[in-house]
Amino acid sequence: MGNNKKNLTTAVAFAAALAAALVIFNVVSGGKFLARENFTVVVSHIVYPAFTAWGLSFLFACGYTDMSVGGVVVLAAFASTVFGNLYGYPGVIIAGVVVGTLLIFINFNIFAYTKIPSWIASISLAMIYEATGFYLKTSNATKSLVTTALNRDYRVLGQLPWSAVLLAAGFAAAYIVYNRTTVGLNIRAIGGNTEVSRAMGVNVNRTLLWVGLISGLFIGFAAVVQISYSGLMTVKTGLTSMSMIFQPLAIVLLAQIMKKRVNIIIAIPVCSLIIYSIFNLLTILHVPSGTLQEACLGAFLIIFGVMGRRGGREVVK
Amino acid sequence: MRGDIILEIRGLNKSFGPTAANRNIDFTLERGEIHGLIGENGSGKSTLISQIAGLYGSDSGTMALNGAPYVPRSPLEANAKRVSMVMQELGVVASLPAGVNVFLGRTKEFSKFGIVSLKALNRAAEEQFEKWELPKVDLHALADGMMIETRKMIELVRAMAVDPEILILDEITQSLSYNNRNKLYELLKKFKAMGRSAVVITHDVEELIEITDRITVLRDGAVAGVLDSVNTTADEVKRLMVGREISGEYYRSDSEPSFDETRTVLSARGLTVEGEVRDVSFDVHAGEILGFCGISDSGIHTVGRALYGLEKLTSGRVLLEGRELKSPTCALRSNMAYVPKDRDNDALMMGASIWENFALPSVTELTGKAFFISPRRLRALARKMTEKMSVKCRDIFQTMTDLSGGNKQKVNLGRWLAKDIKLLILDCPTRGVDVGVKAYIYSLMKDAKAEGIATILISDELTEVLGMSDRLCVMKDGVLKAIIPRGDEFTEHSLIKVMV
């Protein structure tokens, strides 16, 4: 009972702080921030990073990292575009999700069975996925397919209210899997102490493959949302695909800082909203986009991190 | 009430590379029996129980459970046959709540349509705590940050939740304070009365004789003897363990405090750590061993951490020879040493080598010109201390994880004794070490005392603090209740009167 009351108090305080922050943003921007049209843009922007961040949170929960997620999103988006233009919505959704899930699942098979540190293996995989994307974009056989934008008729998942519906569904799925399923608890157990988990009968390799599937699903949906929003995916080379996960990564890091007080799955969409609100505010205030805005994001992360880690004594790596 | 044989082991062998951990082990466990297993570090106890619990297979030999062949390939298979174990070093998953830890690996039992009911899981965990009359734990809280004793309780309940016919306890009593140790004894009595059996490993010989029906003594991986607990003595057990006579008295033989009262080394004034200890004041003198004892939550371990600057003081001061200490760096520079209770997690770098562990606290002293640290000097120090402390190892490049508990503790202590220290804080220094190493640690403490080093000995074992201290601080609920000098009042009975 006491615990529930504490959780409720934390949730109310958290929501109040968020609302206060949004009101302050609105005041600073001279009432432009919370204007309907502007806020709609903010909300539609948070869906892709939230899905990617949920995918990453499952990866991090079991102690792995995957730098190839950007490359996977590019290929899944290509699949969504090609099959979407051919078969409509079933093609957009199924192709994107299947390719995303399959590639992340392959990644986890490689992590689980080769025992190569995941950040090293995933950088190699990122290079392979980027090269594949480049090949698809330049090969005569596929060039016309992947350079054609997704038909506007099939892009509703990138727009409100459908993107918000997808976000809500993704949130419910992530929350239940992470907190209320055996596989979710096993994933967290492996990340916490692999030896104890193994001794307690958790099948570590099988659980890792589950992580691949679950993360892959979220990354696949992220690709569907991204292509539905932008219509066309540009090819990435020279490891530039990694830049696609910087903002989701910042969101997960922010959510991890908050996780002692707020469940990480809940914190992710909230952190997405905070980060994109900051970007939006900076744009309204005519701060140049790109480097300066990202420097502001970096500074915000550090300040928030210092506040969140207040009182901690252990060395954080 | 003891009965027929529930577990029978014949000719069990297990080797790790060229090392024979177990050689031709015969072992029987009767229904309703509490069976003790004892031996020096590295004698094969943990290997044997790991085989019973399904963690290790066997090279040869047989095991039979209730007369049927028993070959568990994992702890889960052992659990399915109602054999469960609390391991010495395993622990809990810090990133999960205590309740989930109790049923980790079995969460499917609480799942409907793939969704785990945490409410039902926590209720079941709570029922287990109640059933076995163990102190309650916040089941919703993450295990991260819980005391080692609380974590052990979670592990114990995890083992009991299997409803075991055979319970194996690997050196858990030394993690428990006086009251929780008594609760464990009560649990074992209840367990035995139910016709269940237990195998208990502890290095405390007297405790083993007290709580068991029979004792199997292992030496060098083989059975050295099986003794009836009622008809044996501590000396007989020790002799079988080490293969020679061991003096029964390894504590101090004097009955009066003996230290230089004119030289105060450390003064603690009004130490308060929020929610842990309140207004604790005392002095420690040169050549004095000041003991600390109390039941769980008494705050004795917090005092050790606070003195070394590892706890944030709400109020109060720690002065070492008049100089105020505020951080571990400051304490280290002032020649203060701290040996924590949780050796593997809080003291040693388990993934590093023996020489790195020995060298770490002395790096500043061994730093040469232009901040250059000579690896040769660091290794020379490590070699010297390895020899001095009689650490059993291949060489100083061996990693700590390969060493037995006793040898790890020798490294843990030795790295401080390599320095010119003024004050030594020992928190449960003999936890998880055998009688031989225990005797060695006590002799080191006596030597330190003779050299004028002040020692603070924090321990959950009353016999230890009574045997070694000049004065004894008894704590209860975070408050220092009494300081008793060595003398007529220095008895277990008088301590318990203050503690409980």
Q: Is A199 on the interface with B (CB under 8 A)?
A: yes
- Cα of first residue to Cα of last residue in chain B, in angstroms, is 31
A28 half-sphere exposure, CB direction, 13 A CA radius: 15
The span from the CA of B53 to the CA of A226, in Å, is: 51
Neighbour count for residue A141 (Cβ, 10 Å): 8
Q: Is B106 on the interface with A (CB under 8 A)?
A: yes
pLDDT at B277: 93
A316: which chain B residues are within 8 Å (Cβ-Cβ)?
none
Nearest to A185 among B76, B79, B100 (CB): B100
Chain Cα centroid distance, residue A165 = 16
Residue B24, min C-alpha distance to chain A (Å): 26
Residue A33, min C-alpha distance to chain B (Å): 38
Residue B230, min C-alpha distance to chain A (Å): 35
The span from the CA of B169 to the CA of A265, in Å, is: 38
Taking 90 as the threshold, does the pLDDT of residue A102 lie above it?
A: yes
> pLDDT (tens digit, 9 = 90+) per residue, A296-305?
777 877 777 6
The span from the CA of A244 to the CA of A176, in Å, is: 27
Taking 70 as the threshold, does the pLDDT of residue B491 lie above it?
A: yes
Nearest to B104 among A180, A195, A200 (CB): A200
Cβ within 8 Å, pair A182-B310: no
Q: Identify the CATH number of the domain in which residue A272 sits.
A: 1.10.3470
pLDDT at B98: 93
Q: Is A314 on the interface with B (CB under 8 A)?
A: no
SS (H, E, C) chain B: CCCCEEEEEEEEEEEECCEEEEEEEEEEEECCCEEEEEECCCCCHHHHHHHHCCCCCCCEEEEEECCEECCCCCHHHHHHCCEEEECCCCCCCCCCEHHHHHCCCCHHHHEECCEECHHHHHHHHHHHHHHCCCCCCCCCCECCCCCHHHHHHHHHHHHHCCCCCEEEEECCHHHCCHHHHHHHHHHHHHHHHCCCEEEEECCCHHHHHHHCCEEEEEECCEEEEEEEHHHCCHHHHHHHHHCCCCCCCCCCCCCCCCCEEEEEEEEEEEEEECCCEEEEEEEEEECCEEEEECCCCCCHHHHHHHHCCCCCCCEEEEEECCEECCCHHHHHHCCEEEECCCHHHHHCCCCCEHHHHHHHHHHHHHECHHHCECHHHHHHHHHHHHHHCCCCCCCCCCEHHHCCHHHHHHHHHHHHHCCCCCEEEEECCCCCCCHHHHHHHHHHHHHHHHCCCEEEEECCCHHHHHHHCCEEEEEECCEEEEEEECCCCCCHHHHHHHHC
Size of interface A-B (CB pairs under 8 A): 70
CATH topology (fold) of B5-242: Rossmann fold (3.40.50)
> pLDDT (tens digit, 9 = 90+) per residue, A215-231?
999 999 999 999 998 88
Q: Please state the pTM of the whole predicted model.
A: 0.73
Contact A266, A176 (CB under 8 A): no
Taking 70 as the threshold, does the pLDDT of residue B18 lie above it?
A: no
A135 part of a folded domain: yes
Cβ within 8 Å, pair B111-A181: yes
Contact B53, B72 (CB under 8 A): yes
The span from the CA of A285 to the CA of A292, in Å, is: 12
Ranges of each domain in chain B: 5-242, 260-335+420-499, 350-418
Q: Is B87 on the interface with A (CB under 8 A)?
A: yes
pLDDT at A76: 94
Confidence of residue A317 (pLDDT cuts 50, 70, 90): very low
Q: Which CATH class is domain B260-335+420-499?
A: alpha beta
B342: which chain A residues are within 8 Å (Cβ-Cβ)?
none
B5-242 and B260-335+420-499 have identical folds = yes
Please give the backbone phi and psi of residue B311, each rounded to the nearest 5 degrees, phi first: -120, 145
Confidence of residue B246 (pLDDT cuts 50, 70, 90): low
Confidence of residue B320 (pLDDT cuts 50, 70, 90): very high
Q: Is B112 on the interface with A (CB under 8 A)?
A: no
More confident residue, B248 or A105: A105
Nearest to B75 among A182, A191, A199 (CB): A199
> For residue A193, what are its two tokens?
């102490």
A176: which chain B residues are within 8 Å (Cβ-Cβ)?
115
Q: Is the dihedral of CA B274, B279, B280, B282 positive or negative?
A: positive
Nearest to A176 among B87, B104, B115 (CB): B115
Nearest to A199 among B55, B94, B115 (CB): B55
Contact B486, B469 (CB under 8 A): yes
Confidence of residue A311 (pLDDT cuts 50, 70, 90): low
The span from the CA of B404 to the CA of B408, in Å, is: 6
pLDDT at B338: 94
Contact B45, B218 (CB under 8 A): yes
B398, exposed or middle or buried, with CB in 10 Å at 0-12, 13-18, 19+?
middle
Nearest to A201 among B105, B118, B312 (CB): B105
> Which of B323, B329, B336 is CA-nearest to residue B453?
B336
> pLDDT (tens digit, 9 = 90+) per residue, B116-151?
999 999 999 999 999 988 888 899 888 887 888 888
Taking 90 as the threshold, does the pLDDT of residue B211 lie above it?
A: yes
The span from the CA of A81 to the CA of A104, in Å, is: 19
B85: which chain A residues are within 8 Å (Cβ-Cβ)?
none
Q: What percent of chain B has pLDDT over 90?
A: 50
Residue B107, min C-alpha distance to chain A (Å): 6
Paired sense of beta strands B83-86 and B111-112, if any:
unpaired
Cβ within 8 Å, pair A196-B108: no
pLDDT at A160: 83
Q: Is A3 on the interface with B (CB under 8 A)?
A: yes
> Which of B162, B146, B478 is CA-nearest to residue B303?
B478
Paired sense of beta strands B214-219 and B34-39, if any:
parallel
- The single-letter code of the amino acid at B355 is W
How does the average pLDDT of chain A come out, rounded?
A: 86
- Beta carbons within 8 Å of B81's beta carbon, 6+ residues apart: B65, B70, B72
- The single-letter code of the amino acid at B33 is E
Vertex A27 angle, CA A22 and A31, to 5°:
95
The span from the CA of B196 to the CA of B436, in Å, is: 32
Q: Which domain holds residue A131?
A: 16-308
Q: Is B329 on the interface with A (CB under 8 A)?
A: no
- The single-letter code of the amino acid at A302 is I
- Cα of first residue to Cα of last residue in chain A, in angstroms, is 35
Q: Among all residues of chain B, which has the CA nearest to that of A194?
A: B93
Q: Among all residues of chain B, which has the CA nearest to that of A4?
A: B140
> Which of B425, B44, B54, B371 is CA-nearest to residue B216?
B44
> pLDDT (tens digit, 9 = 90+) per residue, B401-434?
888 788 898 999 998 988 889 999 999 998 878 7
pLDDT at A316: 47
Cβ within 8 Å, pair A192-B93: yes
Confidence of residue A7 (pLDDT cuts 50, 70, 90): low
The span from the CA of B439 to the CA of B430, in Å, is: 9
pLDDT at A310: 60
Cβ within 8 Å, pair A182-B108: yes
Q: Is A191 on the interface with B (CB under 8 A)?
A: yes
Cβ within 8 Å, pair B93-A182: no
Q: Is A193 on the interface with B (CB under 8 A)?
A: yes
> Which of B333, B436, B353 is CA-nearest to residue B389?
B436
Q: Among all residues of chain B, which has the CA nearest to that of A207?
A: B105
Cβ within 8 Å, pair B91-A193: yes
The span from the CA of B413 to the CA of A167, in Å, is: 56
Q: Is A316 on the interface with B (CB under 8 A)?
A: no
Confidence of residue B282 (pLDDT cuts 50, 70, 90): very high
Cβ within 8 Å, pair A185-B116: yes
pLDDT at B289: 96
Integer CA distances (angstroms), A317 to A123, A137, A314, B118, in order: 20, 39, 9, 31
Q: Is A189 on the interface with B (CB under 8 A)?
A: yes
Q: Is B310 on the interface with A (CB under 8 A)?
A: yes
Q: Average of pLDDT values for B23-39? A: 93
Nearest to B95 among A3, A179, A192 (CB): A192
When scoring A1, A187, A193, A314 by the number of chain B Cβ atoms within 10 A, the one with the most, hence best to mutate, is: A193
Overall domain count for chain A:
1
B74: which chain A residues are within 8 Å (Cβ-Cβ)?
201
> For residue A289, what are its two tokens?
């986009």
Please give the backbone phi and psi of residue B134, each rounded to the nearest 5 degrees, phi first: -100, 155
A315 part of a folded domain: no
